[in-house]
Structure formats: structure tokens, C-alpha cells
Amino acid sequence: MIEKKDAWMKSIAEPSQGEATTREANEDLKNQINELKEQLKHSNEKRDRMSDFLLTKFPDFESIISKSVNDDDTGSDGLSGGIED
């Protein structure tokens, strides 16, 4: 009877293999998310530096870019049309 109680208490106290695997997977996903956030941060900083540089070299750069972004008829590559199903 005592052995059964000890085994039950150990099973409660120690996480099962499935729970441990899930925790490890969650930790891995959190690490990947943090890495992606860091990459995004660096990418945004690089984009901002490039935009600032282009504005110093080409004063009308901002108006040209805003026109192409607001143009609904062209895609990001400047070509007409969009993605069709």
C-alpha cells in the first residue's frame, strides 16, 4: 500500500515525458520567436538607415516612393496586375 502511494506521489511531483517534451517544444518556439523579433528589429533599423541615406542623396525620393506605394494598379515589383486565384 505504501509503495503505491509513493509511486502516485512521484508521478504527481515529476512531469510526465509528454509534458517535458511539450515544455521543451514551447521553449524552443519562444527562442525562435525571440530570434525572429531580433532579426526584424535589425531589418527595420537597416531599412531606416537606407531610407535616410536615400533621402540625403535624392531629396525627392520620399515622394517617389509614396506614389509607388499608393498606386493600386501595380504590385510591389512595379508590374501591372496582381495575384489571381
Residue 76 has pLDDT above 60, yes or no: no
CA-based nearest residue to 46, from 54, 34, 56: 54
Q: Tell me what the pLDDT averaged over the chain comes to.
A: 77
Quick one: angle between helices 61-70 and 17-57, nearest 10? 130
| pLDDT value of position 82 | 47
pTM score: 0.49
Residue with more model confidence, 81 or 61: 61
pLDDT single digits (tens) 17-44: 677 789 999 999 999 999 999 999 999 9
The one-character DSSP state at 43 is H
> Is the per-residue pLDDT at 49 higher than 90?
yes
Task: Note the pLDDT of residue 18.
Answer: 72
